[in-house]
Structure 1
Amino acid sequence: MNDHVREGRLQLRKKPQQERSIQRLEAILEAAIELFLEKGIAQTTMSEVAQRAGISIGSLYQFFPQKAAVIKALHDRFSARLDGFIRQIFIGVKTLEEAADRAADSLIELHDIFRQERIYTTLWQAIVTDRDLGQISADYHEHVITCFYRDLSHLVPESDYQRFRVNLKLMILATGEVIRYATQQEEDVARAHLDQWRRVTRVSLFAY
C-alpha cells in the first residue's frame, strides 16, 4: 500500500478548530476507549462508536475515514504522553552505570503508566495485525531509539555506535513485550517479572 493510501486510511480528516468540534472529537475518542475495553476492537463497529459518543455516523466519518484511524489517534495520544516520560530518562547521565541504573529504575514507572492506560495493551493487539498501523508503531520505536541514542551516545566509543544502536533497539523491543505482559498479570506476578527484567537491563544495556 502506498503512502497516500495509508495516510487516507489513518489520518484525521479534519483538525477541529472550534470548541464544539474539539469536544466532539474528544467524545469520539472517549467512546472508542470505552467500547474497545468493553468489547474488544475487532467487535466494535463505527456505528457503535458514534452512538456511544452521541453523534451521527456521518459526523463520525467527518473526522475518521475508518476504525484504523481511530486506533491511530488513540495511539498518538498515548505516545504523546509517553514521550514526556521517555525524554527525561537519560537526560544528563554521565556514566554507563548511571545510565543502566536509570534504565532499570524507569521500568516500574513505565509499568505504572501502562497500568493506568489499559487501552494501550488493547490497541497494541490491533496494531500488530494491521500493516499500516504496524508501520506507525515501528516508526515510534525508531523515535524512541533516536531519543535514547541522543542522550547516551557520548558514553559509547564512536567505533561501537552501530552495535550499540542495534542493542538499544533490541532492548526497547524486549522491554515493550515485558511491560505488556506484566500489565496483564496480578501485581505480585508483574513485580516478579519486572524485578528480573530490571536486573537484565542493568547488565545488558551496554553489553553490545
Structure 2
Amino acid sequence: MPSDLSKPPRRIPQQQRGERRVVDLLEASSAVIAEVGYDAATMTQIAERAGASIGALYQYFPNKEAIVIALRTQYGDEMETHLTPLTQQAHTLSIPQWVDRIFEVLVAFMDSRPAYMALLSVPTKFKRDPVARNRLREHFSTHYRKKQPKLTPEDAFRIANVTLQIVKGMNPLYAEAKPKERQKLVQEFKQALTAYLESRLA
C-alpha cells in the first residue's frame, strides 16, 4: 500500500491569509494532541479547534502524519533558533555553565510545547532536511574548536553530534517521568554531558 507520508501539504499557501491559516491549524493540532494524545486526536477535533471546516484542514494536510511532519519541522526550527544564540556567548562560559544553558533551553521548550513530547513516540518516516539538521551541529562545532583549538573540524563536528544525541536522549525519559523525577533526570544528563565535554575539550 503506497504511503502518503512523504507527500507535501496538498495546498501550498502563497498569500499571507493562507500562511495564517496554516499557523492556526498547526496551533490547533498541537493543542489537541497535547490534550488527548496523538492516537486519540482526530482531524475533526483539530478542524473544530481551529474554527475551520474539515475540508479546509484537508486542503493543507492530507492526514495526521502530515501534521506530525509539519509540527516536527516547526519544532526543530524553533529549537535551533533558541540554541544557536548560545554559541555566540559560549566562549565566556565554562563547560558546566554551557551545559546548564543548553538544558535550560531544552526544558523550557518542552514545557512550553507539550505536544512536542506527545509526538516523540509517534512512528513516522520524518527526516529533517540534512542542511537544517547539520546547521546547529556546525554552530556547536565552531564553539568547540574555539574551546579546544587542537580539534580538527571532523573531531569537533563529531563531538557536536554526540552532544546533541546526549541531549535528545533525555527527551523520551523526560516525557514519561513525573515532575520530581524530571528534575533528577535533567541533573543526571547534565552530569553526563559535562563529564563528556570536559574529557574531550580539556
Band of TM-score, shorter chain: 0.7 to 0.9
Q: 1:12, 1:63 within 8 Å by CA — same for their partners in 2?
A: yes
- SS of the equivalent of 2:88 reads coil
The percentage of aligned residue pairs carrying the same residue is 17
Q: How far apart, CA to CA, are the structure 2 residues paired with 1:45 and 1:26?
A: 18
The amino acid that maps onto 1:119 is A
Mark the CA change 1:171 to 1:159 in structure 2 (over 3 Å): closer, same or farther.
closer
Aligned CA RMSD, in angstroms, stands at 2.9
1:83 to partner: Cα distance: 2.1
Among 102, 108, 130, the alignment partner of 1:112 is: 108
Q: What number of residue pairs does the alignment pair up?
A: 197
The amino acid that maps onto 1:107 is F
1:130 aligns with 2:128: no
TM-score (norm: length of structure 1): 0.77
Mark the CA change 1:23 to 1:108 in structure 2 (over 3 Å): closer, same or farther.
closer
1:17 to partner: Cα distance: 1.4
Partner of 2:179: 187
TM-score (norm: length of structure 2): 0.79
The amino acid that maps onto 2:13 is K
Alignment of structure 1 residues 101-180 onto 2, 5 Å? 101-126=97-122, 129-131=123-125, 133=126, 135-136=127-128, 141-157=133-149, 160-180=152-172
- SS of the equivalent of 1:150 reads helix
1:114 to partner: Cα distance: 0.8
Q: 1:50, 1:56 within 8 Å by CA — same for their partners in 2?
A: yes
Mark the CA change 1:116 to 1:137 in structure 2 (over 3 Å): closer, same or farther.
farther
Partner of 1:76: 73
| Unmatched 5+ stretches in structure 2 | none
1:34 to partner: Cα distance: 2.5
